[in-house]
Amino acid sequence: MTQVKPMRADARRNYERLLKAAAEAFAEHGEGASLDDIAKRAGVGSGTLYRHFPTRQALLEAAYVDRIKALSGRADELGRELPPGEALVAWLNELCVGIIQVRGMKALLGSAVTDDGVAAVTACGTHVRAAATRLVGAAQREGTLRADVEPIDVLRLVHGVATAAELANADGSGTRRYVSLLTEGLRPVRS
């Protein structure tokens, strides 16, 4: 399923160089980085870029798929190390930090949890949703998470909280506080 025909050598080379250039450019200028510029950095024509990655979304996804997989992997690690409820909170914190620190990942994860019926099936989205489903399910069985929320709700809310934290501090230092406001709620703790 991955690649029925092996890519031609030059195609593969250009593909790799584009990914590297894209990661640099997105880190530098955010998700709006110029695609022509990325092509230039990679030393290829713009047509080549568009052949490999028909949309900006596709390029973003290819550039960050490793990081997304790593984050999804962390979900399982945390699930093994901590009780379900704490694992979920810890993972949400890491996710939030990742979204803010790695410029461009926000748009990617955002589109992964968008309900537009089309193209919702992205590789990144699948990984993240699967990870969230495991942690959410465990926490709900344990009773430390409301039973009426879906994994995708949690992901959307974290995306939102990351947006909020970003407004407060571009460096994401206040992330933890905002995540806890979400998990605990705005009401005072009832003793």
Partner DNA sequence: TCGTGAACCGGGGCCCTCTCCGTATCCTGT
Partner DNA sequence: ACAGGATACGGAGAGGGCCCCGGTTCACGA
The DSSP letter of residue 109 is H
Nearest to 129 by CA among 118, 115, 142, 141: 115
d(CA 127, CA 172): 24
Q: Applying CB under 7 A, which of residues 16, 51, 77, 181 lies at the interface with DNA? A: 51
Q: Does 185 bind a second copy (CB under 8 A)?
A: yes
CB of 108 to DNA, least distance (A): 16
Q: Which does 91 bind (CB under 5 to 8 A by kind): a second copy, DNA, none?
A: none
Residue of 24, 27, 37, 110 that binds DNA (CB under 7 A):
37
Strands (E), 43-123: none
Amino acid at 162: A
159 near a second copy, judged by CB under 8 A:
yes
**Would you count residue 43 as binding DNA (CB under 7 A)?**
yes
**Using the rule CB under 7 A, which residue among 2, 4, 5, 116 binds DNA?**
5
Which has the closest alpha carbon to 51: 102, 92, 83, 10?
10
Judged by CB under 8 A, does residue 160 bind a second copy?
yes
**110 touches a second copy (CB under 8 A):** yes
- Taking the complex as a whole, the smallest distance from the CB of residue 54 to a second copy amounts, in Å, to 21
State the CB neighbour count (10 A cutoff) for residue 150.
12
Residues of span 117-156 touching a second copy by CB under 8 A: 143-147, 149, 152-154, 156
Q: Which residues bind DNA (CB under 7 A)?
A: 5, 7-11, 14-15, 32, 34-37, 43-48, 50-52, 54-56
Q: Which residues bind a second copy (CB under 8 A)?
A: 110, 113-116, 143-147, 149, 152-154, 156-157, 159-165, 167-170, 178, 181-190
